[in-house]
Chains A and B, each alone.
Chain A
Amino acid sequence: MKAIQMTRDKSVTLGLLIVAFLILALLPQFTSGYLVTLLIDILKFAVLTVAWVVFSGPTGYMSLATAAFYGLGFYIAAVFSGTVPFPLLIMLAGASAFVVALGVGALTLRLRGVYFAIFTFALVLLVQNVVLEVERVVTQTRGRFVETVSTEGVYYAILIVFFLTILAAMLIRRSRYGLALQSIGEYEEAAAHSGINVVWTKVLTFATSAVFMGMAGAIIATRRTYIDPYIAFNLNTSFLPVLMAMFGGMGNLVGPVLGAALFTYIGEILLTRFPDLYMLIFGVVLIVSILFMPNGVLGLAQGVWRKMRGGGHAPS
């Protein structure tokens, strides 16, 4: 009985996913340019947030290295743009992010708690400064130019990467790896004692999540004609996915996507209405959402729903 229920749940989710994909894929044929541009932004943050949740959600290791892998994608795009076709460029960025993350993870994932957060925070700034210095000495410039791709091309690329990210996240969640990650987050020593290769599981998942960050970077880089280390390795790129995940709630995969969509949209409105006060209001929104929504928007909605139905019955 339970098995049937589960397969039905699975096929419903898969069906919904396919419908969503079709709607999003056909959208550029019917709508204006602005909506597509906005969707590119939303999908970008959805990729980063879901990829971040894949590793940091279950394990509780707060990674602030997102900007490092995303920025790496930027630079792969800048270095190889024009010489390599677009799809290959994206794959190249994903592969290099994987390799770099494997190295970083192997070095640092023995750090626990806040040390890991501090380390990854510093890593972004280190890479930024090293790239700045290398460019200054070697190429004697500060930035680079990237060959642009049509808006539609970018849209489809980020859409495909988005669905790959979701698919990977779902597969990891439901596999043995997902359970292993969950148990690492709950009690790492116990996980190690029950036969999980803790280090390998953490490093491999960390590197897998970096693939999508790198790919997103390479795609979005083509939206800009000019990039420099400050644009590529921006700390906002590290912090925003964390906030979006918290804003949406990390209990399932809908939360992070919803969080990314809402947060990006709010940011967009603020940016157009109050260009001067944008960052200030954004800061206030961050603080308020951390303060008053400990379980994210989805958690808030569920709480309200439960109250409306009268009483705090646990779901049966």
Chain B
Amino acid sequence: MIAFRDIFITGLLLGGIFALVSVGLTLQYGVARVLNVAHGEFIMVGAFMTFWLLGSANLNPLLSVAITGPVAFIMGFILHKTLFRRLMDTSPSLDIFEGKSLLASFGLLYVVQNLARIIWGSDVEGYNFLNSTVTAAQIPLNRLVALAFVVVLGGAFYFFLARTRLGKAIRASAQSPTTAELMGVDIRNVLAICFGLGLGLAAIAGSLLSTLFAIQTSIGLGYTVIAMVVVVMGGLGSITGAMIGGIILGLVSSTVTFFHPSLTMIAYYVIFIVLLLARPKGIMGK
């Protein structure tokens, strides 16, 4: 029973983080049409920035989110304004743009990962943060804090998309960029904002992950694959789908890890491939 409770709580926590990461990727693919294989690298960047801020300025890891998120947002915004905007303007069709941006983001993966390796090295790093257990339940405090944080952040982001003017513009652009533009949405800025928000969410997820697990400059690709699985699971471009898919995959992950840790990665791929073949449109896909 206790095992079941642990699996469930870890699953929810992982699921919440996966959901953040995947909403980020779905904003980039679903709205900005960039299938960013470098997405996970920004999780790593967020994690290392938090680690570095803790070491140099003794900044609380939870507070560092207020720095890592905006920094990654600005990076994403600039990247889209320079690199992907130009690709979009020179590509004759959407298919070609998608292919080219996938390749460009692969180049980006190299650049970010190797810059990080030059700055932070390739050792495994980690620190202790709130890892005392809550006495009655024996659950590490950092997990509960991170879980609460993910819930608040997810809620706030959902509110932003559902209620604010910019959120509405983003959702409209996800449905049809051309129509959104005709309705007066400043599409160029909205796409760049979406790309920036995607990277911002990735970096925030990275900051939270660094409070829980050891980090390394090579962790990015694994999370990119997780985000892709979740995004396909939820339906490309569906934000609600990415949230639900993230939580499902988190629960699957903690269950498989509990019984047979070395099969976790394989479980992700099997789910992914079965899903692609059985229901490529995803849970919320139309």
Chain A partners chain B: yes
Q: Which A residues lie at the B interface, using CB under 8 A?
A: 60, 62, 107-108, 111, 113-115, 117-119, 121-123, 125-126, 129-130, 133, 136, 235, 239, 242-243, 246, 276-277, 279-280, 282-287, 290-291, 294
In the complex, which of the residues A239, A246, A291 contacts B83, with contact meaning CB atoms closer than 8 Å? A291
- Given the interface contacts A114-B35, A133-B262, A280-B115, does A286 sit within 8 Å of B107 by beta carbon? yes
Question: B130 contacts the other chain (Cβ, under 8 Å)?
Answer: no
Q: Is the pair A62, B99 in contact by a Cβ cutoff of 8 Å?
A: yes
Q: Among the listed B90, B98, B106, B270, which residue makes an inter-chain contact with A239, where contact means beta carbons less than 8 Å apart?
A: B106
Q: What per-residue 1/0 map shows which CB atoms of B215-259 lie under 8 Å from chain A?
A: 000000100010011001000100000000000000000000000
Nearest-neighbor residue (CB-CB) of B38 within chain A: A283
Instruction: Considering the complex, give the chain A residue whose CB is closest to the CB of B229.
Output: A122
Q: Would B114 and A291 count as touching, CB distance under 8 A? A: no
Contacts of A280 in B (CB 8 A): 110-111, 114-115, 118
The verdict on A283 contacting B273 (CB below 8 Å), with A118-B228, A122-B225 known, is: no
Contact with A along B34-54 (1 / 0, CB 8 A): 010100000000000000000
Partner of B225, one of A107, A125, A276: A125
User: Is the Cβ of A294 less than 8 Å from the Cβ of B90?
Assistant: yes
For the complex, what is the distance from the CA of A126 to the CA of B102, rounded to whole Å? Answer: 20
- In the bound complex, CA of A129 to CA of B263 (Å): 9
Partner of A286, one of B104, B114, B273, B277: B104
19 A-B residue pairings within 8 Å (CB atoms):
A107-B277, A108-B277, A114-B29, A114-B98, A115-B232, A117-B35, A118-B35, A119-B276, A122-B269, A125-B265, A126-B266, A129-B266, A133-B263, A239-B103, A246-B103, A277-B114, A279-B114, A283-B109, A290-B87
Q: Does B9 contact A (CB under 8 A)?
A: no
Pick the 6 closest A-B CB pairs, nearest first: A283-B110, A286-B107, A126-B269, A283-B111, A280-B114, A287-B107
Q: Which residues of B contact A122 (CB under 8 A)?
A: 225, 228-229, 269, 272-273
Interface size class of B (residues with CB under 8 A): 35 or more
The answer to whether B103 and A286 have CB atoms under 8 Å apart is: yes
Interfacial chain A residues near B265, Cβ < 8 Å:
125, 129
Q: Does B165 contact A (CB under 8 A)?
A: no
Which B-chain residue is minimally distant from A116 (CB atoms)?
B276
In the bound complex, CA of A290 to CA of B262 (Å): 38
Q: Contact: A113 with B114, CB < 8 Å?
A: no
Nearest Cβ on chain A to B32's Cβ, whole angstroms: 13
Residues in B with CB closer than 8 Å to A283 are: 107-111, 114
For B154, the chain A residues whose CB sits under 8 A away are: none
- Is B123 in the interface zone, CB < 8 Å from A? no
Q: Which residues of B contact A114 (CB under 8 A)?
A: 29, 35, 98, 102, 236
Complex CA–CA separation, A108 to B280 (angstroms): 11
- A285: which B residues are within 8 A, CB to CB? 107
| B90, B111, B118: residue with the most chain A Cβ atoms closer than 10 Å | B111
- In the assembly, what is the distance between CA of A279 and CA of B232, in Å? 30
Complex: how many Å from CA A121 to CA B273? 11
Give the chain B neighbours of A279 by CB distance below 8 A: 110, 113-114
Taking the complex as formed, is B81 at the interface, i.e. its CB lies under 8 A from any CB of chain A?
no
